[in-house]
Amino acid sequence: MPPSSLFLRACRGEVTERAPIWVMRQAGRYLPEYRAVREKVSFLELCKTPALAAEVTLQPIRRYGFDAAILFSDLLVPLEAMGLEVQFTEKGPGLPQPVRTPADLARVATFDPEARTGYVMETIRLVRKELPAEVPLIGFAGAPFTVATYAIEGKTGKTFGETKRFFYQHPDEARRLLALISDATRGYLLAQVRAGAQAIQIFDSWVGVVSPDDWEDFVLAPTRALVAAVRAAGVPVIYFPNGATTILDRVAQVGADVYGIDWRLPIDEARARLGGDVAVQGNLDPSLLLGPVSVLERRAHDVVRRGGKRGHVFNLGHGITPDVPVENVSALVAAVRGA
Amino acid sequence: MPPSSLFLRACRGEVTERAPIWVMRQAGRYLPEYRAVREKVSFLELCKTPALAAEVTLQPIRRYGFDAAILFSDLLVPLEAMGLEVQFTEKGPGLPQPVRTPADLARVATFDPEARTGYVMETIRLVRKELPAEVPLIGFAGAPFTVATYAIEGKTGKTFGETKRFFYQHPDEARRLLALISDATRGYLLAQVRAGAQAIQIFDSWVGVVSPDDWEDFVLAPTRALVAAVRAAGVPVIYFPNGATTILDRVAQVGADVYGIDWRLPIDEARARLGGDVAVQGNLDPSLLLGPVSVLERRAHDVVRRGGKRGHVFNLGHGITPDVPVENVSALVAAVRGA
């Protein structure tokens, strides 16, 4: 891997000739070639079959030539490896036996990532073999809070009342659960780095539901510990605090190399709130990909301009949705490259 | 109504001896007496039967002595009056024929509030008769953007892709739809004031999904026009931009008397972002009502302290949830009054 990869230089806060671009959930249902694979296997089979997971990881690189690939996997993979049964249905993920009491903590533990999630590491090794040398591979995991919400709610939360009830009623055990997830995720992400991941994104998809008090009391410490441990392995860490643009001043304490920004704030203002001297990733509203292309291009150019030349990775402010026309993604890539 | 009502004085930004308290969705499923009424009638029947709607409006006042009552009704009532069929199912509201094309605009129109929503005005008159003189009644409606999302999505949105697609593909017609909803809602709210509502809350429940560009291009103008028209009738207007704490500096341009603040930012910081010299309402995380009471009290006291003595209406940062124990609400009221 040449150290001059556009994506890695931007992650390290360097000036780049243009902003590198990838999009969250780029290996996903909006791609006909992805849907063709999914017709043959379930979502879980796809995650657990390295040849297929590697194939869908590579699909968007072949079609669009994105500046980075991201491992195809799921946020709940490490939770299953920690000992909790996970099911995937049409309605999303579900845990038949969520963590609801302090006694339930006995059912979760750290794990050996090669033994329990070897298929993820094998996927990474396969992708690295196939990927052009100049395209880095991003590994990922959920942040401790977001993973904890699945463990406690047993599904994708709505008001996250169960999670907060557990936090308020059992604060010490809640911190123990978050620390345990942080530890397990550290091992999991370091194994990804050893397998060949050249950057790591930590998705805090649901952290937008916490109050500043809860951020301080529960979320910050295990997240910061995880970020520091992965950074110590020598790869840049992108932290994506979805929905938490409101408290970016506090979010900056996480100590990441790059902060993923959702679309709720212009990216230059977001960078200022983070303290000014950090790399940022984002932040086009994914709905702009529904068209028309003229509006998409205008807004994309604005993101490029606000992102600036130094330390900006172009991305959406959230994952691409299944109803996006593939040709609009081509238009986006062209707009960012030609901006 | 004595001009000295605690709630109305706080709304006008005056110093009060303590913060008045009411809670969003205070007439709701957490109350056994509400559930008893709902066992007999559907949600829609309840909204459209003044005697019953008045009864459930009064229930939380009797039980807790809140400092304000809020009309029991639904955000979709004016949309139905504008000409769109609305159904309520167990899964929430649904519109069989949403607004998806410019031609669909022909199916929506302003309306005569006494003729089409007379049951709402009758509810207000009944409540005013029963309510203690020192307890003001708050009328309400959805903000133009939030109502437009129901019109366009046909249900409670998730990614709000349909709404944004309509905005980007048909910006002039989108602005026409928002202006039309703003006009219709103005008439509806002014009728509520004539019927006896002494303050108005405008709920922008979904505005947290818009980018700052969309706020500027679509949301601000029709919202500001609505707020100004209702204020001109002489009642204070509370604007609740749920999820938009990130852009409170822009939200302040709406020109409301009071801004409802969700729980994502301490209320003193929220007030500073709004410009410092406005009244604020909020902002305890509703999940704290799940208990334990010791944490609830500590956090409630913190909100009271941060809200200060001038222009602060105590409330939750979002609606109370059905699983809240009634005794915890008593504890909250006592904590705020004794703070």
Which residue ranges form the domains of chain A, and what is each CATH number?
Answer: 6-338 (3.20.20.210)
Kindly determine whether residue B247 and residue A263, on different chains, have CB atoms separated by under 8 Å.
no
Contact status of B299 with chain A (Cβ, < 8 Å): yes
Distance of CA A39 to the CA centre of its chain: 25
- Partners of B258 in beta bridges: B238, B279
Contact status of A92 with chain B (Cβ, < 8 Å): no
Active site residue B38: yes
DSSP per residue, A236-282: -EEEEETT-GGGHHHHGGG--SEEE--TTS-HHHHHHHHTSSSEEEE
Could you report the predicted ipTM of this complex, rounded to two decimals? 0.95
Q: Is the pLDDT of residue B168 over 70?
A: yes
Q: At A27, phi and psi to the nearest 5?
A: -95, 90
Q: Please give the Cα distance from A189 to A231 (Å, whole number).
A: 10
| Radius of gyration, alpha carbons of chain B | 19
**What is the per-residue pLDDT for A3?**
55
The pLDDT tens digits for B45-85 are 999 999 999 999 999 999 999 999 999 999 999 999 999 99
A&B contacts, CB < 8 Å: 86
With a CB cutoff of 8 Å and minimum separation 6, the contacts of A290 are A321, A323, A324, A325, A328, B161, B164, B165, B168
* CA nearest to A223, candidates A187, A182, A192, A171: A182
Give which of A163, A205, A287, A302 to mutate to test B binding, by max B Cβ within 10 Å.
Answer: A287
The whole-angstrom distance between A253's CA and the closest CA on chain B is 17
Q: CB–CB of A289/A329 below 8 Å?
A: yes
Contact status of A264 with chain B (Cβ, < 8 Å): yes
Chain position carrying tokens 């916490």: A210
Kindly determine whether residue B168 and residue A291, on different chains, have CB atoms separated by under 8 Å.
yes
Query: b/e map of B109-131 (b: 16 or more CB within 10 Å)?
Result: ebbebeebbeebbbbbebbbeeb
In A, minimum Cα distance to B287 occurs at A161
Kindly determine whether residue A246 and residue B266, on different chains, have CB atoms separated by under 8 Å.
no
Q: Please give the Cα distance from A326 to A338 (Å, whole number).
A: 19
Contact status of B196 with chain A (Cβ, < 8 Å): no
Please state, for a pLDDT cut of 90, what percent of chain A lies above it: 96
The pLDDT tens digits for A83-113 are 999 998 878 899 999 999 999 999 999 999 9
The pLDDT tens digits for B202-220 are 999 999 999 999 999 999 9
Contact status of A338 with chain B (Cβ, < 8 Å): no
Q: Please give the Cα distance from A31 to B95 (Å, whole number).
A: 30
Q: Where are the alpha helices (DSSP H) in B232-315?
A: 248-251, 267-274, 293-307
Per-residue pLDDT of chain A (339 residues; tens, 9 = 90+): 455 799 999 999 999 999 999 999 999 999 999 999 999 999 999 999 999 999 999 999 999 999 999 999 999 999 999 999 999 887 889 999 999 999 999 999 999 999 999 999 999 999 999 999 999 999 999 999 999 999 999 999 999 999 999 999 999 999 999 999 999 999 999 999 999 999 999 999 999 999 999 999 999 999 999 999 999 999 999 999 999 999 999 999 999 999 999 999 999 999 999 998 899 999 999 999 999 999 999 999 999 999 999 999 999 999 999 999 999 999 999 999 997
How crowded is residue B1: how many other Cβ atoms within 10 Å of its Cβ?
Answer: 14
Active site residue B150: yes
Q: CB–CB of B314/B307 below 8 Å?
A: yes
Give which of B149, B248, B264 to mutate to test A binding, by max A Cβ within 10 Å.
Answer: B264
**What is the per-residue pLDDT for B89?**
83
**What is the per-residue pLDDT for A154?**
96
Please list every residue in chain B whose beta carbon sits closer than 8 Å to the beta carbon of residue A299. 213
Contact status of B311 with chain A (Cβ, < 8 Å): no
Please list every residue in chain B whose beta carbon sits closer than 8 Å to the beta carbon of residue A210. 264
Global confidence as pTM: 0.97
Token digits of residue A110: 């750290």
CA distances from A86 to A80, A176, A202, B46 (A): 6, 21, 20, 41
**What is the per-residue pLDDT for B1?**
47
Chain position carrying tokens 């920004």: A261
Q: CB–CB of B94/B155 below 8 Å?
A: yes
Token digits of residue B309: 């003595």
Contact status of A285 with chain B (Cβ, < 8 Å): yes
The whole-angstrom distance between B187's CA and the closest CA on chain A is 31
Q: Is the pLDDT of residue B3 over 70?
A: no
